Amino acid sequence: MTEPLPTPSDARLKRDLPLVPSASIAGGALIALIAIMTFLACLTAGAAILVAQASQGWRADVARDVTIQIKPRAGDDVEALVAAVAQAAARAPGVADAHPYTKSESEALLAPWLGQGVDLGDLPIPRLIVVHMQPDHRDDLGPLRAALADQPTASLDDQRAWLARLDAMADGVVLFAAALFALMIVAMATATGFATRGAMAGAREIIEVLHFVGAADSYIAGQFQSHFLRLGLKGAALGGGGAALFFALAALVSAWNARSAAARQIAALFGAFALRPAGYAAILAVCLAIALLTGLLSRAIVFRQLRSLP
């Protein structure tokens, strides 16, 4: 060992290779599985967030509207009565505007039940005034009620009963979407766990060699954890990136096609179909969580294998 030796050039010597093989069939399969599961989970999360956003929009819009119903008595000048009530309502504090439905608009509302072309001239059809409240006065209807106090034919409907049903329906939709997302996360975690175990199956030889050449358990576990964290990040970036791209494209298509009937139908349920920054942050969080889960699972598996070694 004393013979003087020339030092080989640093460039020729391969060194600092990862202790866990960076490329393997099982590793590639794990990346693909994580990418697919992350994509599906992010789609579910995004859809849940879109529905939640849209339901907030419905509630805000509906809660701002109240309806005044006028039941004219025999001999009343209906049009004058409607105009007087509309003016009184519009002047009340907290009201943004009051829009009286014309006779033909009121009759049109009954058309679905009575059919087209029916002469409703002789029927005492109630007239409606839709009042939009200012955003900060939606729960304060006292001044409006006071303004209508001297209008005996007018009654105020704050739509609370219907609003409560709408709230329950919207909450149900959001809860369903959240439950779907939770199931997706459980499925993703389970599948990732199995795939990580599969990818770790060939690692026992490496773990044993490292163990017997004097590597501490934490060192071995750290090597595997960082390797699988990288695999998880690659898969999650592919899946999460795909989902983010999907939502960005969907928002663009939705904006471009906003005037079509189909787009209006979709907008009714999903709003503008545009995920807000918080939605993209949720996708990022899902990606990070799945990568972390993959790393931690591999760490736990290494420690379990090390426990079986003396």
Residue from the set 12, 136, 152, 161 that interacts with another protein by CB under 8 A: 12
Taking residue 213's Cβ as centre, other Cβ atoms within 10 Å add up to 7
For 65-203, where are the alpha helices, taking DSSP H only? 78-91, 103-114, 142-147, 160-200
Going by C-beta distance under 8 Å and a sequence separation of 6 or more, which residues neighbour residue 140? 94
- Do residues 50 and 267 touch, judged by C-beta distance below 8 A? no
Q: Is 309 in the site for another protein (CB under 8 A)?
A: yes
- Do residues 38 and 188 touch, judged by C-beta distance below 8 A? yes
Residue from the set 3, 122, 136, 150 that interacts with another protein by CB under 8 A: 3
Residue from the set 9, 11, 14, 112 that interacts with another protein by CB under 8 A: 14
Stretch that binds another protein, among 39-47, 56-64, 189-197, 205-213 (CB under 8 A): 205-213
Stretch that binds another protein, among 17-25, 53-61, 74-82, 138-146 (CB under 8 A): 17-25
Q: Is 113 in the site for another protein (CB under 8 A)?
A: no
Q: Is 217 in the site for another protein (CB under 8 A)?
A: yes
Minimum CB distance to another protein smaller for 107 or for 208: 208
Minimum CB distance to another protein smaller for 113 or for 212: 212
- Do residues 95 and 56 touch, judged by C-beta distance below 8 A? no
CB of 19 to another protein, least distance (A): 8
Taking residue 51's Cβ as centre, other Cβ atoms within 10 Å add up to 19
Minimum CB distance to another protein smaller for 206 or for 300: 206
- Cα gap 208→225, rounded to integer Å: 16
Q: Is 11 in the site for another protein (CB under 8 A)?
A: no
- Cα gap 217→40, rounded to integer Å: 36
CB of 304 to another protein, least distance (A): 14
Residue from the set 219, 248, 257, 264 that interacts with another protein by CB under 8 A: 219
- Would you say the C-alpha torsion 283, 285, 288, 294 has a positive or negative sign? negative
DSSP 43-79: HHHHHHHHHHHHHHHHHHHHHHEEEEEE-PPTT--HH
- Cα gap 290→9, rounded to integer Å: 42
* AA identity, residue 125: I
CB of 21 to another protein, least distance (A): 4
Q: Is 122 in the site for another protein (CB under 8 A)?
A: no
CB of 14 to another protein, least distance (A): 5
CB of 233 to another protein, least distance (A): 21
Residue from the set 11, 80, 201, 213 that interacts with another protein by CB under 8 A: 213
- Contact residues toward another protein (CB under 8 A) are 1, 3, 5, 7-8, 12-17, 19, 21, 205-206, 208-210, 212-217, 219, 309-310
